Structure 1
Amino acid sequence: MSLTTTSVSQRIRRVTTVQPAAPAGRLAPLRHRDFRWLVAGTATSSLGNAITPVALAFGVLDLGGSPTDLGVVVGAFALAEVVTVLLGGVLGDRVSRKIMMEGSAAACTMTQGLVAVLLIGGWATIPTLALIGAVNGCLGALSQPSSAAMTRLTVPAELLGSAVALRGLLQTSTAVVGFSLGGVLVAAVGPGWAIAVDAATFAIAATCFSRLQVPHSRPGTARTSLLADLAEGFREVMRHAWLWLLIGQAMLYHLVYGGAQAVLGPVVVGETFGRSLWGVALSALMAGFVVGGAVCVRWRPRLAVGTLLLSLTAAFPLAMALSDHVAPILLGAFLHGFGLQVFDVAWEVSIQEQVAEDKLARVFSLDMVGSFVARPLGLVLTGPVAEVVGYDRWLVVVGCVMGGSALLALLSRDVRRLERRT
C-alpha cells in the first residue's frame, strides 16, 4: 500500500466535484454520486453486522458455552478493535481512505465466511470463534476511522449535517431488518448460515467502496513517524474540552452496556420470552435509531440537546431488569436507540465541523478507542459479576451509570454552549 500523496490533478478533481452549490432539500446529499456509493456500502454491511451478534450469541450457547464464554468471544473482537483502530486512524490520514475501506470489507468477507463454514460443518469451537473474532476485529478497525471521515469528502460543506443524518438513518434502517432477520435465520437454519449472509454483505460493500472516486491527500505535509502523527491527533482531542469529556463519558457507557446487551440480553430475554424475541428487541432498538435519524434529517440538534437525550439509553437495561412483560422492554429498547442516535448525529457533526480534515481520521480513531477501550473488560467481567450480584440487579446498576453519566456531562459549559455551524 503506497504512502505517497495524491497528485495535484487528483486534488483539483476532488475540489471541483464537491464544491458546486448544493441542491435544495433534505435528501440533497443523495444527489452526489460518491455519497450514494458510500451509503450503499455502509448500509449493506450494516445489514450483515446486525445479523452477526444475534447469530454469534446463540452459536456460542449452542456449543455449550456460558455467558462468561460468550463474553470472552465478543470481548476478543472488541479488544482487537481497540488495539488496531489507532493504526487505522493514522493510516486514514496518510493513505487513500477508499483503499482502507475496500480492503477491510474484502478481508472481512473471508473471515466471516470461515466462521460460517466452521459453524455449518460442526467444526467450530469457542476458542476458534474467539481467535477469528479477534482477526475480524482488527480488519474492521483498520477502516473505521476512514469510513467516519469519508462523509465530508463526498458532499459540499453545507450538506454535511444532512449527509451525516442520512447516512446514519440508512445504516440503522438496514440494521432494523438485520436484527429481525438474524433472529429468523437462527431459528430457521442456524447461526452458521446467518453469519454466511454477513460474509456476503461484506463482499457487496467492498464492491460499492471500489466505485468511490474521492481521492485523499495531505498536500505539503512532511512525513513523520506513526507515533508523532498519533500524538498530534491526541493534542487535537485535548484542545477541545467537550471532546475529551464526552469520550470519557462514553468509556463508562461501554464499560457497562456492552456486556448488558451482548451477554445478559440474550440470556435474560431469550430464556424468558424466546430467542426470536431478542432479535425483535434489538429491532426495536434499531427502530429508535431510525426515528432519531429521521428526526435529525429535518432538525439540527446542538450537542447539549443530544447529550440530554443520551440519558434515555438507561431505559433499555432498566426495562430488562424490572419488567416481566414484553411491551416495556421493547419501549425501553426504542428509547435507547432514539436518544443514542440523536446524540450520535450531534456528536459526529460537531467533530466534522470543529476538526481539520488532515487530523479527522486520527481524531475519530481516538474517539473510537476512548469509547471502546473499556468494552472488552466489561464484556469479560459482565458474566461473573452478574452471576454474583444477580442479573436484574446488575442491569439496574448499568441503567443508572448510563443515564447518570450523560446528565453529569451537561454540567460542563463547553458541552452546553457548543453551537452548530451554519
Structure 2
Amino acid sequence: MLRHRPFRNQFLANALSMVGSALTPVALAFGVLHVTGSAGQLGLVLAAYSVPQVVLMIVGGVWADRLPRQRVMITADAVRMLTQAGFGVLLVTGWSPLWAMMALQALCGSATAFFLPASVGLVADTAPPDRIQEANALLSLTRNLTGTVGPIVAGGLVAVTGGGWALIIDGITFGGSLLFLAMLRLPTREAASHRSDFRAEFISGWREVSQRSWVWSTILYCMVFNLAFSSYQVLGPAAFAGQSGGSMAWGVMVAGLGIGQLAGNSIALLWKPSQPLLVGRLIMLGGAPVFFFMGSDAPFWLTLAASFVCGISISFPDTLWDAVLQQHIDGSALSRVSSFDFLGSFLLRPVGFGLSAGAASWFGADNTLTVSAVVVIVATLVSLTDSSMRRLGREPAEDSAGHLVQKH
C-alpha cells in the first residue's frame, strides 16, 4: 500500500500530524493549569477549540468539495502549525492571557473542521480503488497507535520541559505534514468558479445524505452509540476511583481499549467482508458487554477483556464505513457527506458527558452503565432494519436513490 506514492505522501502527512496531536491533550491541559491554576479556564480553552470545530464542520465539507482538497489541507495545516506553536510560545514565555489562548484554540479548531472532511475525500484520490479499505485501516492504525503512545510521551515531555515545548513540537509536525501534502501530484479538479454557489452545494450535499438511507441511518446510529459510549469515559474512572490502585486499573482498562482498536485496524487490513456495513454493525454489538461488567461486580480480567473487544467493535466498523463512503459516494460530494458524518460523531459527545454525570447522580453509576449497554444493543438491532444497509456490498452499484454512483 505504501509503495503507491500519492497515498504514501498522504499517509506520511497524516502520520506526522497525528504524532503531534497525540501530545496535545496532556500538554495543553497541564500547560494551561500550570499558568492559570484554574480548571474553569482550562474548560474554556477546550471549548474554544471544540465549538468552532462542530459549527464549521459542514462549511469545511462544502469547501473541500469546491476546492482542491490538497490545498484545503495544506492551508489548514499551516493554520494549525502557527496556532499550536504559538500556543506553546505563550506557555514557554509565561505570557498567557486567557483571551489569547482561547483565540488560538478557536483558530486551530476551525482549521481542523476544514481538514477532516478534506482528508476523507483525499483518500479516494490517492489510494488505488481496490485498496481503499487497506488505506483507511493504515490511517486508523496509525491514529490509534499514536493515541495510545502519545499521552505517555507527552507526560514525560511535560515533566521534563513543560507543556509549552510539547505544543511547539506539535506545531512543527503540522509543518512536516504540510510539506508532504505539497509533494502530492494529483489531477486538477473542477474549479469553484464553474460550480454552483455555496448554498446550492450545501443542499446538494444534504441530498446525497438524505436520499441514501444507509448513510443517514448510519450517522444517526453512530450519534446514539457515541452518546452511550460517553458513560464509559465519564463513569468508568468513577467505577475504579474508590478501589485501591484504582487509577492504575483504569489506565490498564483504557490501554485495553486502545489495544483493541489497534487489533480492529489490523483485522481491517486482512478481512474485506462482502457486506461491510452489515458485518460492521453486528460487530458493534461487542461494545455493549463492557458497560454491563463495569456496572457490576465482574472480575477485573473480564471487564478488561470486554474493553479490548469494545475497542475492536469501534475501530473495525469505522474503517469499513470510511471505505464504503469512498467507494459508493461520488468523489465530487464525498467531503460534504463526510462532514455530516463528522458532525454527527462530534455533536452529542458533550451532551453525553453531561447526561452520564447527571443520570449517575440520580440513578447511580451502575444503573446508568447498564442503561448504556441496553441503548447500544437496542440501537444496533433497530439499525439492522434498514434493508439498504444490509444489502450494500463492497462494489458501487445502483444506490437506494436509484442513481448510479461512481468509484474513484
TM-score range, shorter chain: 0.7 to 0.9
1:231 paired with 2:223, answer: no
Q: Secondary structure at the match of 1:44?
A: helix
- CA distance 1:389–1:337, shift in 2 (3 Å): same
Amino acid at match of 1:174: T
Alpha carbons of structure 1 residues 38 and 310: separation in structure 2 relative to 1, 3 Å: same
| Separation of aligned partners in 2, 1:312 and 1:323 | 19
Match of 1:37 in 2: 9
Measure the CA separation in 2 of the matches of 1:124 and 1:322: 45
Contact kept? 2:67, 2:191, Cα under 8 Å = no
Q: Give the structure 1 partner of residue 180 of structure 2.
A: 208
Question: What's 1:412 paired with?
Answer: 386
Provide the residue aligned with 1:15 in structure 2.
none
| Cα distance change, pair 107–393 in 1 and its aligned pair in 2 (3 A) | farther
Structure 2 residues without counterparts, runs of 5 or longer: 397-408
Residue equivalent to 1:25: none
The Cα shift of 1:50 comes to 2.5
**Structure 1: 5+ residue stretches without partners:** 1-28
Deviation at 1:346, TM superposition (A): 1.4
TM-score of the aligned structures, taking structure 1 as reference length: 0.80
Q: 1:412 corresponds to which letter in structure 2?
A: D
Instruction: Using the TM superposition, name which of 330-339 and 41-50 deviates more.
Output: 330-339
Match of 1:364 in 2: 338
Task: Identify if the C-alpha distance between structure 1 residues 160 and 224 changes in structure 2 by more than 3 Å, giving closer, same or farther.
Answer: same
Residue identity matched to 1:201 = T
Using the TM superposition, give the Cα deviation of residue 148 of structure 1 relative to its aligned residue in structure 2, in angstroms: 0.4
TM-score, reference length from structure 2: 0.82
Residue 365 of structure 1: how far off its partner (Å):
1.0
User: Which among 287, 299, 302 is matched to residue 271 of structure 2?
Assistant: 299
Query: In the alignment, which of 52, 72, 81 is matched to residue 100 of structure 1?
Result: 72
Alpha-carbon offset, residue 133 of structure 1: 3.1
Counterpart position of 1:134: 106
The residue identity in structure 2 corresponding to 1:144 is L
Cα deviation, residue 209, structure 1: 1.4
How far apart are 1:401 and its partner, in Å?
2.9
> RMSD of the alignment, in Å?
3.4
Distance 1:122 1:242, change over 3 A: same
Alignment-mate amino acid for residue 38 of structure 1: Q
Distance (Å, rounded) in 1 between the aligned partners of 2:241 and 2:158? 13
SS of residue in 1 equivalent to 2:268: helix
Tell me which of 132, 137, 152 is aligned to 1:160. 132
SS of 2:196's equivalent in the other structure is: coil
Q: Deviations over 1:36-79 (max 9, x none)?
A: 1111111222222233234445556665555x876655444332
The 5-angstrom pairing of residues 72-221 of structure 1 reads 73-121=45-93, 124=96, 129-186=101-158, 189-218=161-190
Counterpart contact for 1:285–1:333, Cα < 8 Å: yes
1:243 corresponds to: 215
**Cα separation, partners in 2 of 1:322 and 1:117, compared to 1, 3 Å:** farther
Paired residue total? 392
Q: Structure 1 residues 151, 392: CA separation in 2 closer, same or farther (over 3 Å shift)?
A: same
Tell me the SS of whatever aligns to 2:54. Answer: helix
